[in-house]
Homo-oligomer: A and B are copies of this chain.
Amino acid sequence: MKKVFRHAPLYQFLYYCDLEKTVETPTILDCGAGGATPPLTLFHSHGYQTYGIEFNLKQIEKANAFAGDLSLNIMQGDMRKLRFNDNSFDFVYSYNSIFHMKKTDIAQSLSEMKRVLKPGGLIFVNFLSTDDFRCGEGTDLGSHQYEQMEDAPVIHAYFEYDEADQYLGDMTFVLKERRIIERIFEGERIRQGFIDYIARKN
């Protein structure tokens, strides 16, 4: 059986990448690429040359355990200081990851993602929105940023609908999607809120 990922927005991004790719084997960089079901697997299975950056070594181990023989090329690193040259990748994305930092670090990371993206290339990034049921929970760090307790304390930064437009203002608009998802999680009905962007580097 072919694996289906729950990351539906990345199928949409893959659809756009497939439409716009100009080479047989495009390169793609995932910032925050670790975890138990690494989305780079999806791009790898569609013929992309994948690279990933992940801060947390345990999450890299989980990703490699899932990937098995596939070479996803996930390296330990910091998306605020990417060790790649300017204009290196055909496509760059960060999925369900960038909002685990404070907004100043998010701004820096997006500058870096845009720097390593080739002109004409597409970026995908998504943000937690203030619609999310956890917005307001935990220690208030100001500007809709909270330190919340999971296995360890984690930061979640939440955004108003137009707030993250500033990070992509120097790019060409392709798509912006607001998603509010109600679903059952551990027996409770929860409400998650996201804002997704696809934009093209000029």
Q: A83–B92 Cα gap in the complex (Å)?
A: 48
Closest CB pairs A-B (n = 4) = A8-B12, A178-B180, A8-B8, A175-B183
User: Is A179's CB under 8 angstroms from B178's CB?
Assistant: yes
User: Is B46's CB under 8 angstroms from A1's CB?
Assistant: yes
Contact residues on A (Cβ < 8 Å of other chain), bracket: 20 to 34
Chain A interface (Cβ < 8 Å from any Cβ of B): 1-2, 4-6, 8-9, 11-12, 14-15, 18, 45-47, 173-184, 189
Shortest C-beta distance, A190 to chain B (Å), equals 11
Shortest C-beta distance, A196 to chain B (Å), equals 9
Q: A47–B4 Cα gap in the complex (Å)?
A: 12
Q: A15–B178 Cα gap in the complex (Å)?
A: 21
Residue of B nearest to A172 (CB): B184
Known: A178-B180, A179-B179, A180-B178. A6 touches B15 (CB 8 A): yes
Residues on B with beta carbons closer than 8 Å to the beta carbon of A2: 45-46
User: Is B189's CB under 8 angstroms from A182's CB?
Assistant: no
Residues on B with beta carbons closer than 8 Å to the beta carbon of A174: 183-184
User: Is B4's CB under 8 angstroms from A11's CB?
Assistant: yes
Name, among A4, A9, A15, A173, the residue most crowded by chain B CB atoms within 10 Å (CB to CB): A4
Residues on B with beta carbons closer than 8 Å to the beta carbon of A177: 179-182
Residues on B with beta carbons closer than 8 Å to the beta carbon of A175: 181-184
Residues on B with beta carbons closer than 8 Å to the beta carbon of A183: 174-176
Residues on B with beta carbons closer than 8 Å to the beta carbon of A178: 178-181
Q: A14–B1 Cα gap in the complex (Å)?
A: 12
Residue of B nearest to A183 (CB): B175
